[in-house]
Structure 1
Amino acid sequence: MTTSMKFDLPLLNYDTRFSLWQVKMRGILAQTHDYDEALDSFGKRKAEWTPEEIRKDQKALALIQLHLHNDILQECLKEKTMKEEDSVMSHIAEFKKIVADLVSMEVKYDDEDLGLLLLCSLPNSYANFRDTILLSRDELTLKEVYEAL
């Protein structure tokens, strides 16, 4: 006997704590035919995806879109990809290199300042992501920004 489970996840809006919503959304994707695997394919170029990975990606995207408030969904639909000129991973690597250079010159920053610097250094296409992260927390750490990205 199989049981069907219903998941009530509020729509992601500008007041939602993104990190908590993200955990719950991944849980929904995992319970829905392992669509969370689609999130793990982000590191691969789409040209390398199998037909099954493409199908799971499309299903996962549809589920995520169904859990976005109209204001956020409208902004997301404008974006064709998460990349502009560089990937997020190369951006983070460059940011870490700059921070390491500053540390070697004995420039000191607290963790919250570094998190804010990283957020502000993101391309304009991340404006909504940046706003969501900034507005969902009273305090912000660099680790939280890394995890969210």
Structure 2
Amino acid sequence: MTTVPRQTTAHPHTGILRTIYADLSKLAEYAADDMVLHRADRSVEDPGLCRGVQAVLAHEQALLRLTGNTLVMDVEHIAANEYFGAVLGILRATHPQDIAMPFCGLWRFEGGCIVEHWENAYRVAELLHLFTPTASRTTTG
């Protein structure tokens, strides 16, 4: 087993993650061109992968549009080292309705660049339902 000396100050990747969560458009400045995103709605049947920084940015922009640009990720905790970063917080939006849901973002770094990201929402099905426009929802009686 390899041991790494414990740092007493925040790792620089902490600052990168804080910047990204404050402004998703900054992701391109820190991501490898071939980064991979594992969407929150992934399943065994559909791994929900976005490959390449442009596909990841398109996914993030789609989320912003679905929420009428009200999506905010309130960061509560960030832990990072040379290899990984974990961000815990609350995902919030006010459109199409009020949303407040815990999330955990896991990030993998290589050579200071983001190469992989896993989105995790506390209740994915509920989150997806909230993002579905009211007119297209089906009701059961």
TM-score, normalised relative to structure 2: 0.29
- Whose radius of gyration is greater, 1 or 2? 1
Asked which structure has the greater RCO (Cα within 8 Å, sep 6+), the reply is 1
TM-score, normalised relative to structure 1: 0.28
Determine which structure has the larger strand proportion and give its number: 2
